Amino acid sequence: MTNKDETVIEEFGDEWTKFDYGSLDEEKLEENFQQYFNIFPWDMLPKDAVGFDMGCGSGRWAKLVAPKVNTLNCVEPSNAIDVAKNNLSSHENVKFYKETTEDCTISPGSQDFGYSLGVLHHIPNTQEALNDCTKLLKPRAPILLYLYYNFENKPLWFKFIWKVSDYIRRVVSMSPKPIKHFLSAVIALVVYFPLSRAAHITEKFGINVENIPLSDYRAKPFYQCKNDALDRFGTRLEQRFSKSQITEMLTKAGCTDIEFSPNTPYWCCVAFKND
């Protein structure tokens, strides 16, 4: 049995074609980038570093990683690989693979680093997908990973709100594509935008907004709200993990020295392939 969902792959191809990030403000993109990569050990990479972006989507992160390394291998199973090729056309050190984690043709043990952000929780067996990623790494090479978390650090009322939203997701994600895109845009407008902007205003009064739903979007453009609403409510396969579960999966995948970012988005972490 293959570890992929063809429908989910097709849906992400549609998403990244619609939201290609080609025109997003560079400063905002850099701010988003640092949320994930602020714990990444750039100083530990060799000067001729070769690494992978597993599930590159539109190539929005690869656009900022490519100038820092010798070669970046972008792996994406959907038609979004064509969007990435266009967005990264000025970077001659990027290679593209229209492949999944399990059929990736990058040589095992050849990569100086790797990252997979917001991808593996949409694959049926996340552990196997993570194993496929880490086998590409050289000993002691770092991997940056972001998986959806299970709200273990949130109050019960917050978890209840998420549970309600998850029932909505299951309905929206199964809708025909035009309806799915329309409903996701409505959710972005009537939920993401007002809650995130309310958090932005509240924060100006010196109030902690960490437990306000969608507060992480308080300084992000509406474009990203629309994208992430589609990403969240338009995807039929979603899994969530605790910090301890992610630690266990990384350990099983042959990694050690796991460090979690203390900031949003949860849980983003870096780990190193065992010797």
**Does 178 lie in the same domain as 139?**
no
Give 124-145 pLDDT, tens digit per residue. 999 999 999 999 999 999 999 9
Count the domains in the chain. 2
**Does 196 lie in the same domain as 167?**
yes
Closest CA to 75 of 54, 102, 106, 89: 54
**Does 54 lie in the same domain as 129?**
yes
**Does 19 lie in the same domain as 69?**
yes
**Does 218 lie in the same domain as 244?**
no
**Does 251 lie in the same domain as 204?**
no
On whether the pTM is more than 0.85, the answer is yes
90 within a domain of the structure (yes/no): yes
Residue type (1 letter), 25: D
Give 47-74 pLDDT, tens digit per residue. 999 999 999 999 999 999 999 999 999 9
1 within a domain of the structure (yes/no): no
**Does 182 lie in the same domain as 49?**
no
pLDDT of 1 > 80? The answer is no
- Please, are residues 254 and 43 in contact by the beta-carbon 8 Å criterion? no
**Does 24 lie in the same domain as 141?**
yes
Residue 118 Rama label (left phi>0; alpha psi -120 to 50; beta): left
- Reported confidence tier of residue 26, pLDDT bands at 50, 70, 90: confident
**Does 122 lie in the same domain as 249?**
yes
**Does 68 lie in the same domain as 179?**
no
**What percentage of the chain exceeds 90 in pLDDT?**
96
**Does 136 lie in the same domain as 163?**
no
77 within a domain of the structure (yes/no): yes
**Does 189 lie in the same domain as 95?**
no
- Reported confidence tier of residue 275, pLDDT bands at 50, 70, 90: confident
245 within a domain of the structure (yes/no): yes
pLDDT of 23 > 80? The answer is no
171 within a domain of the structure (yes/no): yes
Hey, how many other C-beta atoms are within 10 angstroms of the C-beta on 191?
17
Q: How far apart are CA 86 and CA 71, in angstroms?
A: 17
pLDDT on residue 22: 79
CATH of the domain at 258: 3.40.50.150
Provide the domain limits for residue 192.
Answer: 156-233
Residue 21 Rama label (left phi>0; alpha psi -120 to 50; beta): left
